Structure 1
Amino acid sequence: MESNHRKISSKTNHKRTYDVRLTEDTTCGIWFLKGPWLQRFANKKAYVFLYGLLGCVFSAAYAYFNGTITTLEKRFKIPSRTTGIITVGNDLSQLFVSVILSYYAGRGHRPRWMALGMYTVVLFCLLTALPHFLCGAGSDALTLTVEYRTHDRNSTIDALDRVQKKALCHRKNSTTSDCEMEGGNYSPQLILFIAQFISGIGGSLYYTLGVSYMDDNIKKSKTPALFSFSYFIRMLGPAVGYGLASFCLKLYISPSLTPTIDNNDPRWLGAWWLGWIILAIVIFIFASLLALFPKTLPRAAVRKELLKKQISKVNEKFEPEPELPTSFKDMLVTFKRLIYNPTLMLNNFAAIFYFLGYMPYWIFLPKYIETQYRQSASASSLITGSAGLVFSAIGILLSGLIISKYKPRARYLAAWNVIVGAISVLGIVSYAYLGCAENDNRAPLLPNGELNPVTECNSHCFCDYVKYNPVCSQDGTTTFISACHAGCRQSRKINGTEIFSDCSCILTNQTYLVDFNHTFHEGGFATPGNCSVDCLSKFYIFLIVVCLLKFSGATGRASNFLVTVRCVEEKDKPVAMGFGLMLMSLCAFVPSPILFGIILDKACLVWGKTCTGNGNCWLYNGKTLRYTMNFTAATFVLIGTLFDAGVWFFVKGLKIFDEEIELELEDLAS
């Protein structure tokens, strides 16, 4: 009887502890949105699911930006190095605020701080769409619509004739330099940079606070599985983002107008702005729901109290270390403690070099597929989002379940990261040898590496400001920058297809003269678009390698996360995440897009010319781009793998799971 009475009394005490915490830090809701109907959602499953969903839409926003990069570059005449600088904006803000925010917000109400950060991402989405509403669809897109041709027909016929004649070969002294002014407008680029800068605040709060809140409120043995599940949901984001980009880019930039070209035409501009409105609405809804979670989940609060009592039994003199109030001095002490942690620093350096190597594939992969395998912008975005998704999902879920079930030691987890790094290096190197045969006009290169489009056969033409509009020779072997560069003097439609004729650069059995003062005999003809290239086999191999790297990389996510959060004290987890994010922003996220943007621009063969200089790049040297980009990335990943080997050396003895901690307590008690 006495024993049963003690059990009931013990349960009552636990219930009282639970009730006290429920009134303080474990109540679900905010302001007037409180009550028992919300409290039922104050559990780890609801948090993990919502955190994953929010991360899914958040990562979809960045994937959507990457999927629409080429369209943005065409619309606003932006070179790749400028695009790289724009994408660096969010990393700069993370560099400045991630550590400070993670320190102060990590000791506050983390779900509400995360929600506040997500509201800045909503602002990022709206600002990114703003240039379209300020600048419109642009003259390039409007001239390629039925409405432009039919509206005020008398006044536009002459303009259309001038455009058509300008695209053909004509005398140098027959026209003035008709350059484009849009390339000199820097306001859209500035707005895009500001939008990216604002988004970095939300990103730093989401990543640093979200995983630390999860780890603090979940049993250590269940962390790998639940982390993998949330990461799996978040991993769907790129597929959603690229799929949304593919859908929006199939619509014309001004959906109310009827284009005269299809989306396979290189001049096509899709409705890049539409997806940002959709993403802003969804993120706002999910962020508002996240703000309703309590500061600490109820069961986690009870579990912490029981752990403190267990430690007190082992060591009767044990007194919990008092938590120092947030201050600048305490923040510096915390940073010093993190810097002198060899496991954490080596793990951070490994992540820095991994991100340096992988950033170009996250940002420029749609462009890479477009330039290397001749896919449309819409298809490239769809392929980028879908390729490897199944393998990534299997990898992250499988690794989380295996780690939760078998509970491997820290050294095994670190060793697997070394193996994943080695596989990544080999896969990236193979990218350099998976390219298509060139069939572009092999004109001589200028000293700066650009293509010299002026040859003997078109030297009599004035093509300086002719827009990029590729045509294919009649034999299907050579692609020219435009009909003008092919030396074509006439155009006519046959069965609805435009045919360019009298092309002096396309050889036929007939002779031709290149001097306008003499009789010109008819040359060859050309058709619009690039010549077809049989590149499917290498493209499929490329996708297989991408899937393999997606799978192997996903299996290392959970182990890398566990090493990071276990090698520091529990109170330092949010700051450690923010500190790592600051280092990665400074050393990887900021320089990598700029570096690889310069590499892309160096491989450019044909620039769109504007009155202020060069606009966006229209044609790349595929072989140069493959070798330079992939070998540079592989070198960075190799260095990261060496740092992971250092983590393997220092991680010996690190406790990962609750069972290991409990065994250590039992040994101390005995």
Structure 2
Amino acid sequence: MESNDYKQSEPNSGMLIPSGRRWKSVQMFSFIMCAVIGVQGAYLGYVIGVLTNVERRFEISSFLSGLLLSMYDIGHMLSVLLVGYFFADCHKPRITAIGVLLSSFATFLMTVPNFLYGPINWKTVETLTTLKNHSSVVATCENDENYQWKFAIGNSSSIELATATTQQQQAHAGPYAILALSQILSGISTAPFNTVAYIYIDDNVNNRESPFYLGLLTGMYAFGPAFGFFLSAWCTDVFVDLTVPENMDPSSSSWIGAWWLGFLILALLYLIFGIPLFFFPKHLSERTKKRPIASDVELDELAFSSSHNKFSTAIQPQSLANSCKFVAGGNVRALPTALMKLFSNPVYVGTTCSWIFSAYLIGGYGTYLPKFIETQFKQTASMANVYSGFISIGSMAISTTFGGYLLSRFNVKPRRATLLLLITWSITLVGYLLGIVLGCEQQNLAGKLDNSSKWNFTNECNRHCNCPPNEPFNPVCDGKWTYFSPCHAGCHFQTSNMTWLNCGCTVASDADVFDGLCKDDCQALPTYIAVMFVSFFIGNLFLMTTVTLVLRSVENPLRSLALSLGSFLTTLLGFSPSPILYGMVVDSSCIVWDSIPSSGEPGNCLLYDNRQFRNKLHISSGGFQLAALLAIVFTYYKENDFVFPQEDAGEKEALTSSQSCDRAMTS
């Protein structure tokens, strides 16, 4: 029995969606899904953009923040297989709508730590400010052996300082658990976006139009994160509690931006675009019936046949759902044979390995690029997000679009496209290597850095000062050297304008010493941005070649499984571990940690070794780029003796057609 969904006009289901076919068309569904995927991409970019502020607010290390990012990939990796398996024949718009609303809830859940635990405990902050920043409290140089045990002024004591700090750090496990749960739910809820939603569009347009519609959706994954970076730049310029604090601005090391505000905006956008999806029918009345693809080949040895090979573009998510549907409805015993056939395909294996290594660059370098720019070039978090979005997302969005046009315009064959990819990825490798030398040198730190980049800030000039061993990081600068604290600079007095006097460790004893790190005149940022943008732009020009290689190197019935398996392995072995691994690399460059008194464990990093951070970040990234390049070299080498099934089938079809014409002409 036909469902009412087939009616050309339906009663108005409410004020949200007017009745009529024009409101329930594939064009309108595609428009809404473009918006939804744009919000999803913005969410991913926004999380990266506010990561430093989240670390600072809850005092978590880069390793833990990297683990937090991986939660999204883990959730998505697990759910995408289940969605494709169980919901392939369900009401696709409603399944998608449920996913969008769940995404709205998960995104809103990211703001809960701010409201549940407060943007920041101002009572604690006032106590800490009083204890740490006032001249009568901040430890100064005193020739008294018992001074470090008398770190007390009036009714305030070192015990009160420790208590206040502990109050600020308490229950940080709670906020982190909420953020981790939100990330997992976000990954789970987005599974329908690029599976059943893609199939719904593909089922309701003809084969020629399908690449255009699905290409629009895929393109939003490049432009969405750019919006997320700019949104994070705006939000982090606003203080965490939406007030304007005195004696503090976004350039202050203790500044915490309104990291939670953007999540509210994105949750609202999810809600707005998700509700209309409930009103689309299971099948659109004007849907076009697909013609079967003539080149489909039955694989009798695999004991299954495919009737869903509708691909003419590089869309991984749809193939994932189709492969799940094959496992659910076909001969499951044929799956091991199919997998063996894929893993014995050298072109497929080499290309998939290149995906995995490239995922480390996106999930690792791309994640910590804002932190690198902020700490290396002394930029605010908001400007670091803008520059990062321009370098990574901007270059990718432009170059992939332009490169796809070039490949289509000149009909580049797989082997030639692979050679072009080798050249462009080699240029990207050079860009990473240049990044090693494009940076700013470390501030002159008074003291010594040992082999493990630990700062030994005790000198002969401050040895008699008896500076408290647990004194918080309160850097001061004499115009040339940065000192850990006024006490370690040998300072005795402070004026009302935050200037320290009578500092015994300065070159001139009457020199003024100011709060904060020393500034420098490093001008390397524009060069770094230009070099990395150009290298990424060139490197991403022929990125779609890798997907084309997979599509053309396997038989038609295996294309869906090949793409979905490659996507699964890339997430499992690349995207999931990359933020954690890079977080460990970043943490290893830390000089000063903000320790948590209640546990003694390190919190967030307060000061990085510029050279170590720069070298480790770009050497690691260059290593993964080289590994991806070698995987493509292997693929190109194997292509010389490899017969592409798709090209071979096309050549045979053309030869058969030519022979038929010859026979017709001679008869």
- Interval containing the TM-score (normalised by the shorter chain): 0.7 to 0.9
Q: Shift of the alpha carbon at 1:383?
A: 1.7
Q: Decide which of 244, 251, 269 is 1:264's aligned counterpart.
A: 251
Aligned to 1:535: 522
**Equivalents in 1 of 2:129, 2:204: separation in Å?**
69
Aligned to 2:631: 643
Aligned to 2:491: 488
Aligned to 2:97: 115
- Higher mean Cα deviation, 32-41 or 102-111? 32-41
- The reply to whether residue 105 of structure 1 matches residue 82 of structure 2 is no
**Equivalents in 1 of 2:410, 2:443: separation in Å?**
54
Judge conservation of contact 1:106–1:575 (CA < 8 Å) in 2.
no
- The reply to whether residue 333 of structure 1 matches residue 334 of structure 2 is yes
Q: Deviations over 1:101-139 (max 9, x none)?
A: 333334545444443333332232112111111111224
- The reply to whether residue 386 of structure 1 matches residue 358 of structure 2 is no
**Equivalents in 2 of 1:164, 1:588: separation in Å?**
52
- The reply to whether residue 368 of structure 1 matches residue 344 of structure 2 is no
- The reply to whether residue 62 of structure 1 matches residue 44 of structure 2 is yes
- Higher mean Cα deviation, 600-609 or 24-33? 24-33
Aligned to 2:472: 467
Q: Deviations over 1:386-420 (max 9, x none)?
A: 34655434322222333333333233333333333
**Equivalents in 1 of 2:224, 2:625: separation in Å?**
24
Judge conservation of contact 2:59–2:604 (CA < 8 Å) in 1.
yes
- The reply to whether residue 426 of structure 1 matches residue 430 of structure 2 is yes
Structure-2 change in CA distance of 1:490 and 1:394 (3 Å): same
- The reply to whether residue 37 of structure 1 matches residue 20 of structure 2 is yes
Give the SS at the match of 2:258.
coil
Aligned to 1:316: none
Q: Shift of the alpha carbon at 1:199?
A: 1.6
Aligned to 2:137: 165
Structure-2 change in CA distance of 1:36 and 1:188 (3 Å): closer
Please tell me the root mean square deviation across aligned C-alpha atoms, in Å. Answer: 3.9
Give the SS at the match of 1:54.
helix
- The reply to whether residue 653 of structure 1 matches residue 644 of structure 2 is yes
Letter matched to residue 349 of structure 1:
C
Judge conservation of contact 1:225–1:404 (CA < 8 Å) in 2.
no
Q: Deviations over 1:134-184 (max 9, x none)?
A: 111224x6677xxx69xxxxxx99768868613544521212364332445
Q: Decide which of 556, 573, 577 is 1:587's aligned counterpart.
A: 573
Q: Shift of the alpha carbon at 1:322?
A: 7.2
Judge conservation of contact 1:80–1:600 (CA < 8 Å) in 2.
yes
Judge conservation of contact 2:593–2:603 (CA < 8 Å) in 1.
yes
**Number of equivalenced pairs:** 613
Q: Shift of the alpha carbon at 1:653?
A: 2.7
Aligned to 2:609: 621
**Equivalents in 2 of 1:299, 1:559: separation in Å?**
34
- The reply to whether residue 602 of structure 1 matches residue 583 of structure 2 is no
Judge conservation of contact 2:483–2:489 (CA < 8 Å) in 1.
yes
Q: Deviations over 1:501-552 (max 9, x none)?
A: 22222221x4xxxxxxxxxxxx53212232222222x211110122113322
Q: Shift of the alpha carbon at 1:563?
A: 3.8
- Higher mean Cα deviation, 328-337 or 600-609? 328-337
Structure-2 change in CA distance of 1:397 and 1:222 (3 Å): farther
Aligned to 2:351: 347
**Equivalents in 1 of 2:398, 2:229: separation in Å?**
20
- The reply to whether residue 502 of structure 1 matches residue 502 of structure 2 is yes
**Equivalents in 2 of 1:227, 1:621: separation in Å?**
45
Judge conservation of contact 1:55–1:237 (CA < 8 Å) in 2.
yes
**Equivalents in 2 of 1:569, 1:117: separation in Å?**
33
Aligned to 1:187: 174
**Equivalents in 1 of 2:468, 2:448: separation in Å?**
17
Q: Shift of the alpha carbon at 1:225?
A: 5.7
- Higher mean Cα deviation, 657-666 or 177-186? 657-666
Give the SS at the match of 1:608.
strand
Aligned to 1:413: 417
Aligned to 1:7: none
Aligned to 2:480: 477
**TM score, norm. by length of structure 2:** 0.80
Q: Shift of the alpha carbon at 1:186?
A: 1.1
Structure-2 change in CA distance of 1:276 and 1:390 (3 Å): closer
Q: Shift of the alpha carbon at 1:450?
A: 1.8
**Equivalents in 2 of 1:327, 1:360: separation in Å?**
35
**Equivalents in 2 of 1:303, 1:587: separation in Å?**
36
Structure 2: gaps (5+ residues): 152-157, 298-303, 309-324, 662-667
Matches within 5 A, 1:190-339: 190-209=177-196, 229-256=216-243, 258-290=245-277, 301-304=288-291, 327=328, 330=331, 333-334=334-335, 336-339=337-340
Q: Decide which of 71, 77, 88 is 2:59's aligned counterpart.
A: 77
Give the SS at the match of 2:604.
strand
- The reply to whether residue 396 of structure 1 matches residue 379 of structure 2 is no
Q: Shift of the alpha carbon at 1:355?
A: 0.9
Structure-2 change in CA distance of 1:163 and 1:268 (3 Å): farther
**Equivalents in 2 of 1:48, 1:662: separation in Å?**
35
Aligned to 2:512: 525
Letter matched to residue 503 of structure 2:
C
Give the SS at the match of 1:503.
coil
Q: Shift of the alpha carbon at 1:669?
A: 6.8
Q: Shift of the alpha carbon at 1:371?
A: 1.5
Q: Deviations over 1:406-439 (max 9, x none)?
A: 3332333333333332222111111111111222
Judge conservation of contact 1:504–1:524 (CA < 8 Å) in 2.
no
**TM score, norm. by length of structure 1:** 0.80
Q: Deviations over 1:260-307 (max 9, x none)?
A: 3111111111111111100111122223345555666777733426x5
Structure-2 change in CA distance of 1:25 and 1:450 (3 Å): farther
Identity %: 24
Letter matched to residue 472 of structure 1:
C
